[in-house]
A and B are shown apart, each in its own frame.
Chain A
């Protein structure tokens, strides 16, 4: 029989009788599960350690501000453009679908609810994951393979505290701020299309928007954004921190960071929506 590769075979597999294909299958499933548990366990430990350093001194304010600028400020253009176009498309799409009914209020409510609850945080999260998650993984990965992370610990500096914690905190704070901007611009994009192209009355549109928007919608979006911010920076740090094998390893870490962050964003989006709105 062929021992499937990938996961530590020896301790799990040693006593499995190699008689039937069924048992092989069970063993394979088990191994994959053990492997998955082990890597998610490692990730969880990494996250716990990184987050715990946010509240334990010494603090590296300089590193935090740098990360905040990188994640928040420099992501503004990308997030802003994404939001405006999304709002515009939403207005256009919904008006063609809804024109037979009372389109006026429907378009306004659809735009504002989709943007604040869903599209603002998710699209901003995905854009930032592509931009920042990759950059973090590449930077930390390069530091790892050139011994810079090892060098930190010989210079009385805990790399988790110096490199990881400031980025996690910056992600936690920057993403909600970005989403506030995205929400405003998204609604504005919808407003422009509705009034300029579809000929809606601007005052009614604004009134409808304000009427439909509730604090819950807005706040749930911000909470999602904070969670996404941590996910993005966490995956970037984790992949970069644990990368090995030179330039190729760093490249692989970068890809994994973006893919993992994007998938996790969508998964957590579902879970959080369930928590907030499913009654």
Chain B
């Protein structure tokens, strides 16, 4: 292996405003191939928008986003679509297709890429559902019949089904009980280690941040205020990160509450 780690994802100066509200303000971020990056930050700090920018679902106002050295903002449409197909995404709210049964949701990417026939898809879906702790019978239900946590796990199953090279998780363990949260963290780590995927995960859960992440970054007011090893999250010496990870009310981050 070369000394210089290969970069799968590279962001430079990515900015995005909605109206006159600046959500991302010059983000620089590198994620090396086969590693996972955890992004933390307050609610509304732009974490979900960041992931959607990398996916090409939101067009940033400025900046460069490269995946495997290809600038996705200037690449032709087919190439963008190809890149996007290599990314599996768990959306914050699940975003399950409510017109399809759960098993078809899970196998959707497999069927779309013709990686298996409809007949095989059902069995494949059951396998993947089992990995996220759901019984095969759940596959026959409609997404609206599931609890929030179950929907999240189905969303996760759908994201990892086609074993994509790049995985984005938007709050994978929010709404799960602690044990299931640990199981899902294990599954994510497994995906990264076993399949060699590159991952970006957003989380508010410090325990899970340390379990999932190789590296971590903190987003505040549209900027990356800290980046480092995820294992050092609890003792970074950075006041903002400290306040955030320890959940203190006093500190440099002021919540915009009315006094």
Residues on A lying within 8 angstroms of B by beta carbon are 139, 143, 146-148, 150-158
Contacts and interface: CB of A to CB of B under 8 A. Distances in A.
A125 to B, nearest CB: 26
Given A139-B99, A157-B112, 6 more contacts: A148-B95, A148-B97, A148-B98, A150-B52, A151-B96, A156-B113
19 contacts: A139-B99, A147-B91, A147-B92, A148-B95, A148-B97, A148-B98, A150-B55, A151-B95, A152-B97, A153-B57, A154-B55, A154-B84, A155-B85, A155-B112, A155-B162, A156-B81, A156-B109, A156-B112, A156-B162
Interface of B: 52, 55, 57, 81, 84-85, 87-89, 91-93, 95-99, 108-109, 112-113, 158, 162
Given A156-B113, A157-B108, A151 B89 contact: yes
A156 B57 contact: no
Contacts of A154: 55, 84-85, 87-89
Contacts of A150: 52, 55, 57, 91, 95
Nearest to A155: B109
B108 A155 contact: yes
Contact of A148 (B81, B84, B96): B96
Nearest to A63: B99
Contacts of A157: 108, 112
A151 B97 contact: yes
Contacts of A158: 81
Q: Is the interface of A mostly helix, strand, loop or mixed?
A: helix
A151 B95 CA distance: 7
Contacts of B52: 150
**A147, A157, A158, most chain B CB atoms within 10 A:** A147
Contacts of B81: 153, 156, 158
A146 B113 contact: no
A147 B95 contact: yes
Given A148-B97, A150-B52, A150-B57, A155 B91 contact: no
Nearest to B168: A154
Contacts of B99: 139
B89 A146 contact: no
A136 B158 CA distance: 25
A152 B81 CA distance: 11
A113 to B, nearest CB: 42
Nearest to B91: A147
A166 to B, nearest CB: 13
A158 B84 CA distance: 11
B201 to A, nearest CB: 16
B85 A156 contact: yes
Contacts of A139: 99
Given A151-B89, A153-B81, A154-B84, A146 B95 contact: yes
A148 B108 CA distance: 12
A7 B255 CA distance: 35
Contacts of B108: 155, 157
Contacts of B97: 143, 148, 151-152
Nearest to A162: B112
Nearest to B155: A151
Nearest to A153: B84
Contacts of B92: 147
A6 B83 CA distance: 36
A57 to B, nearest CB: 12
B53 to A, nearest CB: 12
B199 to A, nearest CB: 14
Contacts of A151: 89, 91, 95-97, 158
Contacts of A156: 81, 84-85, 109, 112-113, 162
A155 B87 CA distance: 8
Top 6 A-B pairs, shortest CB-CB distance: A147-B95, A151-B95, A156-B85, A155-B109, A156-B112, A154-B89
Contacts of B95: 146-148, 150-151
Nearest to A148: B95
A148 B87 CA distance: 16
A174 B85 CA distance: 34
A6 to B, nearest CB: 15
A147 B93 contact: yes
Given A155-B158, A156-B113, A158-B81, A146 B93 contact: yes
A152 B104 CA distance: 13
Contacts of A153: 57, 81, 84
